[in-house]
């Protein structure tokens, strides 16, 4: 239901989203379903459940650095400081390895607030350069592992070029399968611009692409 509709009920809309993502997490459990469910729980102030959902997302994708950040924030909101600190340390290392500068900096602020020392991390630029030296492989941002490069940008524009430069064939095929689930679950119709935008939003969320990363590319 559109928020521009004067009869829209934000609380009811949020509950409907929670029900939708709970169903997807049951029927097609993966990192994106649990991450989206965690965001919905967090928006509803259900911080303990949000933290659990974000940790489920991490279980499906240990490289999902934003899930560490959001799980940490949810644990802090639930007054679980020790658990938050432990998880955020892992998230800081993960974000550094993936080159997620914005997430790494956000986690660093949380750890400093908790008085937790920042762990030492490897230089991601040096690792990326080593993996990609022969031009056949790419250090995949989602998995953090070397993968064969895509044959070309999967779509036109800056987003397609960013995906080509930062994600491998294995991850892209995984997204194609995941994207099919999104299309079917949300009943997307690509003849409508808003549905194409919804698909792109979920794709960027699943891959872990932020607008800041695209702007800096």
Q: What is the DSSP letter of 4?
A: T
Q: How confident is the model at residue 182 (pLDDT cuts 50, 70, 90)?
A: confident
pTM above 0.75, yes or no: no
Instruction: Check if the beta carbon of residue 62 is closer than 8 Å to that of residue 70.
Output: no
**Average pLDDT across the chain, whole number:** 89
16-45 pLDDT per residue, tens = 889 988 998 998 888 888 999 999 999 999
38-86 pLDDT per residue, tens = 999 999 999 999 999 999 999 998 888 899 999 999 999 999 999 999 9
Q: What is the mean pLDDT of residues 93-109?
A: 87
Structure token digits, residue 45: 């102030």
Helices and strands in the chain: count of H runs, count of E runs: 11, 2
The Cα–Cα gap between 98 and 27 comes to: 29
The pLDDT assigned to 1 comes to 37
């Amino acid at each position: 239901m559109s928020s521009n509709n004067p009869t829209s009920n934000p609380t009811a809309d949020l509950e409907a989203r929670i029900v939708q993502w709970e169903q997807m997490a049951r029927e097609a459990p993966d990192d994106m379903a649990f991450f989206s469910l965690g965001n919905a729980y967090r928006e509803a102030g259900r911080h303990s459940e949000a933290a659990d959902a974000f940790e489920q997302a991490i279980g499906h994708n240990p490289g999902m650095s934003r899930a560490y950040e959001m799980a940490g924030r949810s644990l802090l909101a639930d007054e679980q400081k020790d658990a938050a600190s432990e998880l955020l340390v892992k998230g800081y290392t993960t974000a550094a390895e993936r080159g997620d500068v914005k997430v790494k900096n956000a986690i660093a602020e949380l750890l400093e607030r908790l008085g937790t020392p920042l762990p030492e991390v490897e230089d991601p630029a040096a690792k990326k350069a080593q993996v990609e030296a022969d031009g056949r492989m790419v250090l995949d941002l989602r998995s953090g592992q070397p993968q064969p490069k895509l044959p070309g940008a999967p779509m036109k524009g800056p987003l397609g070029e960013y995906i080509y430069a930062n994600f491998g064939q294995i991850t892209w095929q995984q997204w194609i399968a995941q994207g099919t689930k999104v299309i079917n679950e949300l009943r997307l119709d690509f003849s409508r611009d808003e549905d194409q935008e919804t698909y792109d939003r979920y794709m960027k969320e699943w891959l872990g692409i932020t607008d800041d990363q695209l702007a800096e590319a």
